[in-house]
Amino acid sequence: MNPVTILGIESSCDDTSASIVRNGLMLSNVVAGQEVHSLYGGVVPELASRAHQQNIIPVVEAAIKKAGIDKSEISAVAFTRGPGLLGSLLVGTSFAKGFAQALGIPIIDVNHLQAHVLAHFISQGNENETMPEFPFLCLLVSGGNSQIIVVHSHFDMEIIGQTIDDAAGEAFDKCAKVMGLPYPGGPHIDRLAKQGNADAFKFNKPQIPEYNYSFSGLKTSFLYLLRDKEKENADFVKENLNDLCASIQKTVVEILMSKLRKAANDLNIKNVAVAGGVSANSALRQAFHDYAIRYEWNVFIPPVSFTTDNAAMIAITGYFKYLKSDFCAIDEVPYARVSQKL
Ligand code: KG4
């Protein structure tokens, strides 16, 4: 059988990315970020779409070149169909359709969240790679989502818990913003927390039933703490920046892990994975290692390059769909939101 070579395209938010995956092995993964948003303290959808238009052709060209293949070897084009920013998604979707039409090959639509989970199955050709066995639990934490998912198979995923308001990444970014840190604030909190005392400040944890999360109350109590302390000392944030970062990070990680532990316990699942942008967080990664020892979990933590938005995860999902001949019609359109079932 000829090798199955998938071109993956990701453009759901503010990263333009293209990747080549051949028979499950990643040959290239090129990501172009968009600096323009840092001026505004968040992603500006209109600017994101324009930047995707500028980036998409050079990024795809670079991915093909880096993979050392010719475009005639591509079997299908997989693209992020949603959820995400519609204008951004339209750029990737339209490009994928045009490119595939020109080559006479099929297109494969990919759910971005499902792809974050399936990033665990990208092979980089390393000898000691381990991939999760089904069923496993996946904590999917990003700027827009905080979910606990039971993964029964590649395409049978059940969301058993999710945030009822803000996502974990949003909580990091909003707390960072009120401390005057640049956007996105999550990585800055992570960096500064390394020098801080995580027990310096205490925050109430939300009491939400089942496996759901809530982060908006935490964000508000963080805001109130800063407001009250700054009344007494205008330099409060400056003088306590590292401790504030360490304390808020510890609280977010504890909230995430306690629900995950409850789910693992209730469902008696020992294979536990993490995915999404926030899984780059060093304290969250450490918590996974600690829980692996304490509760005898088999934990799966992706390389940092596969935690944030990337096209390799789109290409691997496309690869699995290709094997099922699960292709998409040319007139399918992107979607901004996603339903309960992945
Ligand atoms: O999955 P992702 O790249 O994209 C979207 O959700 O669109 O996630 C981005 C989120 C942001 O909120 C960012 O602050 C957060 O992931 N993030 C982190 C870290 N790296 C990225 N949060 C905490 N610690 C980090 N090291």
**Can you tell me which atom of ligand 1 is nearest the CA of 283?**
24
CB 30 within 8 A of CB 59: yes
Cα of 168 to ligand 1 centre, how many Å? 9
If you search the block for the tokens 């990701």, which residue do you land on?
A: 10
Q: Domains (ranges, CATH) in the chain?
A: 5-124+306-323 (3.30.420.40), 136-302 (3.30.420.40)
Does the beta carbon of 143 sit less than 6 angstroms from any atom of ligand 1?
yes
> 268, 324, 20, 297: which is closest to 132 by C-alpha?
297
Cα of 279 to ligand 1 centre, how many Å? 8
The order of strands in the sheet holding 156-162 is: 156-162, 146-153, 136-141, 271-275, 298-300
Does the beta carbon of 8 sit less than 6 angstroms from any atom of ligand 1?
no
Does the beta carbon of 173 sit less than 6 angstroms from any atom of ligand 1?
yes
pLDDT number for residue 100:
98
Does the beta carbon of 12 sit less than 6 angstroms from any atom of ligand 1?
no
Does the beta carbon of 15 sit less than 6 angstroms from any atom of ligand 1?
no
CB 219 within 8 A of CB 174: yes
Task: Give the tokens for residue 9.
Answer: 């395209």
Instruction: Tell me the pLDDT of the chain (342 aa) as tens digits.
Output: 789 999 999 999 989 999 999 999 999 999 998 888 877 878 889 999 999 999 999 999 999 999 999 999 999 999 999 999 999 999 999 999 999 999 999 999 999 999 999 999 999 999 989 999 999 999 999 988 899 999 999 999 999 999 999 999 999 999 999 999 998 899 999 999 999 999 999 998 999 989 999 999 999 999 999 999 999 999 999 999 999 999 999 999 999 999 999 999 999 999 999 999 999 999 999 999 999 999 999 999 999 999 989 999 999 999 999 999 999 999 999 999 875 455
The one-letter code for the residue type at 235 is: D
Q: What is the model's pTM?
A: 0.94
For 83-110, b/e burial (b = at least 16 CB within 10 A) is bbbbbbbbbbbebbbebbeeeebbbbbb
Cα of 165 to ligand 1 centre, how many Å? 17
pLDDT number for residue 339:
58
- Strand 16-22 to 25-32 pairing: antiparallel
> 87, 96, 47, 161: which is closest to 336 by C-alpha?
87
Task: Give the tokens for residue 323.
Answer: 């094997």
pLDDT number for residue 38:
78
The one-letter code for the residue type at 200 is: A
The order of strands in the sheet holding 76-82 is: 25-32, 16-22, 5-10, 76-82, 107-111
Tell me how far the alpha carbon of residue 28 is from its chain's centroid: 19
Distances from the Cα of 3 to the Cα of 13, 25, 40, 74, 137, angstroms: 31, 11, 44, 9, 31
Of the chain, the end-to-end C-alpha distance in Å amounts to 30
The one-letter code for the residue type at 301 is: I
Does the beta carbon of 243 sit less than 6 angstroms from any atom of ligand 1?
no
Spatial distance between the Cα atoms of 276 and 279, rounded to a whole number of angstroms? 6
